[in-house]
């Protein structure tokens, strides 16, 4: 049955996305990242407390989780169809629309796996890096627009949260404008809303004036 293909895809992508990269990297250094700073396991909190190399590593791996989940489905769809044509095809034949749906399902599941990882009592990150990876596979032009927005806002404000919220708005807007897929547009809008919701504590701190900025300059210990 076709539903089996979606269930298997969602399960595999969820488990891939659920790997708690930030938590594991911090644990390897003797730190429980959930007990410091914002308590988030994402790259920003790791960057602040474990330094640039660790933060960049977590950022890249979290993005790769999303990209890998989508790429495995889209790139290996012919092999999956050959393995189980009645499950991954339509009437035993490859089907482009099913391939697209499976890619979208994989992307959603990977993001949910990162945001609500089963390994940490369903508490995870905010999904920005993983979402970027997913959309490099699904809509590369749109994600480049969102990434450019993120960079501009981050450099000008030094608030990762502001840049991430802006990107969460820019991505669905760019998808609607550049992709000929209503389904992808609707899904991306929903994921954008989820990303903003996951930043609710950051929004509260921004309104209260207590949100932390990233400091690009090294501290001068000689003073």
| 44-79 residue pLDDT tens | 999 999 999 999 999 999 999 999 999 999 999 988
Give counts: helices (H), strands (E), the chain: 12, 0
The answer on pLDDT for 221 being more than 50 is no
Which position has the higher pLDDT, 46 or 91? 46
The answer on pLDDT for 220 being more than 80 is no
Alpha-helical (H) ranges within 51-139 are: 52-75, 77-83, 85-88, 96-115, 128-138
Q: Domains of the chain: which residue ranges?
A: 1-126, 139-214
pLDDT band at 2 (very low <50, low <70, confident <90, very high): confident
The answer on pLDDT for 18 being more than 70 is yes
- Phi/psi zone of residue 30: left (φ > 0), alpha (ψ -120 to 50 degrees), beta? left
Give mean pLDDT, residues 131-152: 97
For residue 84, what pLDDT is reported?
Answer: 85
Question: How far apart are the C-alpha atoms of 115 and 154, rounded to whole Å?
Answer: 22
Give mean pLDDT, residues 207-223: 72
Q: Which of 87-91, 112-116, 122-126, 157-161 has the lowest mean pLDDT?
A: 87-91
pTM of this structure: 0.89
**Percentage of the chain exceeding pLDDT 90:** 82
Q: Which of 86-90, 110-114, 153-157, 184-188 has the lowest mean pLDDT?
A: 86-90
Question: How far apart are the C-alpha atoms of 208 and 68, rounded to whole Å?
Answer: 38
For residue 154, what pLDDT is reported?
Answer: 96
Q: Within 13 A of 19's CA, how many CA atoms are on the CB side?
A: 17
Question: How far apart are the C-alpha atoms of 206 and 71, rounded to whole Å?
Answer: 36
For residue 223, what pLDDT is reported?
Answer: 42
Question: How far apart are the C-alpha atoms of 186 and 193, rounded to whole Å?
Answer: 11
**Tokens standing for 112?**
């949910």
For residue 170, what pLDDT is reported?
Answer: 98
Could you count the other beta carbons within 10 Å of the beta carbon of residue 203?
15
pLDDT band at 1 (very low <50, low <70, confident <90, very high): low
- Phi/psi zone of residue 121: left (φ > 0), alpha (ψ -120 to 50 degrees), beta? left
């Amino acid at each position: 049955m076709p539903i089996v293909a979606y269930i298997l895809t969602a399960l595999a992508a969820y488990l891939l996305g659920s790997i708690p990269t930030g938590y594991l990297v911090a644990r390897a250094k003797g730190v429980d990242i959930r007990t410091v700073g914002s308590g988030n396991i994402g790259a920003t909190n790791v960057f602040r407390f474990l330094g640039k190399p660790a933060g960049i590593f977590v950022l890249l791996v979290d993005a790769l989780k999303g990209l890998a989940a989508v790429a495995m489905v889209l790139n290996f769809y012919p092999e999956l169809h050959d393995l189980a044509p009645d499950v991954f095809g339509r009437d035993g034949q490859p089907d482009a629309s099913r391939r697209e749906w499976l890619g979208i399902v994989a992307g959603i599941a990977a993001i949910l796996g990162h945001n609500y990882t089963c390994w940490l009592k369903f508490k995870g990150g905010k999904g920005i890096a993983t979402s970027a990876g997913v959309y490099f596979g699904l809509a590369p032009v749109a994600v480049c627009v969102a990434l450019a927005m993120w960079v501009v806002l981050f450099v000008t404000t030094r608030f990762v949260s502001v840049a991430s919220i802006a990107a969460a708005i820019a991505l669905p807007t760019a998808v609607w404008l550049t992709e000929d897929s209503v389904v992808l547009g609707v899904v991306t809008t929903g994921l954008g809303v989820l990303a903003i919701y996951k930043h609710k504590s950051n929004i509260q701190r921004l309104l209260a004036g207590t949100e932390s900025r990233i400091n690009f300059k090294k501290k001068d210990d000689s003073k």
